[in-house]
Structure formats: structure tokens, C-alpha cells
Structure 1
Amino acid sequence: MMTVRSIHRSSDVTGVVLAGGKSRRMGEDKRFLTVGGAALLDRCVVAMREQFSEVLIITAQDSLPLEGRGCPVYQDLIAQCGSLGGLYTGLRMASHGRVFVVACDMPFLKPELIRWFLTRDPQADVVMGRVAGRLQPMHALYGKNALPCLERMARAGRLKIQDMVLEPSLRTTIVDASEWAHLDPESQSFRNVNTPADLEAARAEAARLPLVP
């Protein structure tokens, strides 16, 4: 049984876990596949609850119900918009003005890197990482000022969250992997599990690590 450690938690940022993917490349619901002795979703939720006083789980409208994880669960307010719809829902439902968003299939979240992200530009509407030249919309911070932009993108069918950085009305801060290399030199925090091969590799990696997220 994975437990939440008693540590100082952020009380002004809401943690959001997106758990509504279709798992098409995996071929089965990856939320409940195990890595390091715990389901992917549970690993992620535990890691987030250690960092945030409020954690929300967001699922797709056609997802199976999720219960018993100590967090409110909301279905997408905008259907068929993938992660963008989940981000919009998390922002809308959060009690705080900013949210830190991750996907439920990220088994190697590092608390020290999450806390580092929380210190980047508190006035920014978007704080997004860049790994190997690619923007990473998961493991990122968003403010409620981004809600109108997300609504416009959803209506236009522009579902790449990364496109938010092009929005002139938003204050965006991009942080490169070199800036957090002292905390996560291989950027393992951004690694996710999409395919059976990814799952096998994650299980092998977890076997070398302590059995905590």
C-alpha cells in the first residue's frame, strides 16, 4: 500500500492529474498497469498528494469511474478534446489560481523537481519545460488567465497545448532541461508510458529505484 508522506504541501497551487486517455497504443487501460509494485495512476496521485493540499483527477466523459483515491474526480467539461480538455477542466474546477498538471502515466515524478517548477516566475500564466527541443505540456504550470485561450483553441479544434506559448495575451516562461539538470539529469520526470515497450522499460527502471514515486 502506497501512503502519502507528511511534508509541507503547496496551499496556493492545485495539483491536477489527467487520467482520461484512451490507451490506444497500449491496448488496455494503462491507468491500472503496475510499475514498481503500484498502478501507474496510484503512483502519480501519491506523488501529487505529497506536494499539493488540493489534488484533482480529471477523466474523459466516457472513462470508467474512478473512486477511493482521496481526491475529487471530475469528467471533462469539454468532450473529445484530449489533454487540452482535461487541462481546461482542471483549471475551471481548481480552487486556486494556478494548477500544476501531469498525466497519470508518468511513473517517475520527482518531488524536488515539482517544487522547483513551482518557484519559476509566479506571475506567469504558463510555465512549461523543454526537453531535447520539444515543449512538454505535462509537468507544467498554468494559471486561470489561460482559460479563454483554451476555450478558443477547443472551439477551433487546435488541441496541441504547446500552441499556448504562441498566445500573445499570456505570459509564458519556458524552462530548458539544462536548468533542472541538478535535480533530474535525465529528465525522467517527463517520461510516460504509452506502449507495451514503454511499460517494460519503466518496470525495469523502477526495479532499480525505491518503491515510491
Structure 2
Amino acid sequence: MRSACILSGGKSSRMGRNKAFLPVAGLPNIRRIVETLRPHFPDVCLVTNDPEAYEDLGLPMTRDRYPGQGPVAGVHAGLLLARFDRVFVVANDMPFVSAEVALRLVELSEGYDAAVPEVGGQVHTLYAVYRKETAPHFEAVLLEGRRRMVDVYERIRVRYVRAEELGLTPEEAERIFFNMNTPEEYARALAWTEEGEVQK
């Protein structure tokens, strides 16, 4: 069995408004992500420090146990909340989440503590699969006063996954791992949807 956990704890300072609720192809982005994952993951949950804003999604929710400590704290909270051992973790600012890619990452995580895409020279730590039992390693890093995902990776068995292993062309990978942090990036996401790009 598998879980999916959406991280929605960022401040959206560069965007100027909450990225989770930006409309993409007629739906708030957070709802797009939920509707993409829900048919394929029996457990979908959310990490947010503003749970009231997300009540209508009907998801199990939790806050960061270590507020203000960035993605490591968000993943840690999500792993504690998730019901199943393999947890697909994704940030709320990724408008083209692919269930097919998420499921492939779950498969590729077998024998490892994490399966993390490394595409175009970038490691996508918040579009990755982690085992629930790695939560203590995330907490240990936080208790040491560190906040980088790479600090966690030094403690666990990570499989880095290339786009080819996910069956993606460079163009598909660019879109699927795209995240929108600025108004310009949001405009690009909207342009993609207007061009009728079909997510894998």
C-alpha cells in the first residue's frame, strides 16, 4: 500500500499569494494535485500550517512539528501522518503532477529508503518517494539544527532516478517537474495548459 502527501507550508513570498489556490485549467492547483493522486493512492494527506484554508479538500492534515524549518520539517510531518510505508511527497506548487510518474517512483523505491528524481541536473526532493520509517532520520537532522534534504540523504539509502527510467522525454520531464514560484512561472504554466499539453 502507498500514501501520497502534499506539502503546503511555503510562504509563497515570491508569488505574492498562496500558490496552492492559483487556478490552473479551471481548478485550484491544490485540487488538481489531489484529484490526480486520489484514484491511485488509497491515502492522500496534507501538511499545512493553515489547515482551516484546506478543510474543503476533506484530507487528513497535520502541521509541521518543527515550524519554520523548511522542507525537512514538512516531509517529517508528512511521514508521521501517512498511513502506509511508501509515501509519495510532492510540493503544492507543481501544477503538472503525474500519477504515472509517482507510481513508477514507488516501484523504483523498492530496496531503498527513497527514490528521488534527478533530472536536468536538478534533484527533485519534493517530488519523491520516502519510506515512512525514515521519519526519525528527518527528525535527527532537525534536532541537529540542520535544514537541508541532503543532510537526510547522508543517513538513508537513496535511489536517484533519471528521466529515462521514468519513461519521460526531456520535454515531458521539464513540464512534469515544473514548479511555479513567481508570477512569470505561473504564466508559463497557464500557457502550457492553453497549448493543450497532456500530462503523462
Structure 1 length-normalised TM = 0.85
Q: What secondary structure does 2:108 align onto?
A: coil
Look up the match of 1:204.
191
Partner of 2:32: 43
Q: 1:180 corresponds to which residue?
A: 166
SS in 1 for 2:147: coil
One-letter code aligned to 2:48 = T
Distance 1:115 1:145 in 2: 19
Aligned twin of 2:71: 83
Report Cα offsets for 1:61-81 as digits up to 9, x if no partner.
Answer: x67532111211211122111
Deviation at 1:183, TM superposition (A): 6.6
Measured in 1, the distance between the counterparts of 2:48 and 2:169 equals 30
Structure with more helix by fraction: 2
Which letter does structure 2 place at the counterpart of 1:86? G
| Cα distance, 1:109 vs structure 2 | 1.2
Match of 2:148 among 160, 166, 169: 160
Q: Separation in 1 of the partners of 2:109 and 2:183?
A: 37
> Alpha-carbon deviation of 1:212?
8.2
AA at the equivalent of 2:126: M
SS in 2 for 1:21: coil
- Give the Cα separation in 1 of the matches to 2:114 and 2:33: 21
2-structure distance, mates of 1:79, 1:97: 24
Q: CA-atom RMSD, angstroms?
A: 2.1
Percent of residue pairs bearing the same amino acid type: 32
Unaligned 5+ runs, structure 2: none
| 2: CA distance, partners of 1:154 / 1:53 | 29
Sort the Cα spacing of 1:211 and 1:177 in 2 relative to 1 into closer, same or farther, 3 A: closer
Residue 16 of structure 1 deviates from its aligned partner by: 0.1
- State the TM-score, normalizing by the size of structure 2: 0.90
Unaligned runs of 5+ in 1: 1-11
CA drift of 1:116 comes to 1.3
The alignment covers a number of residue pairs equal to 199
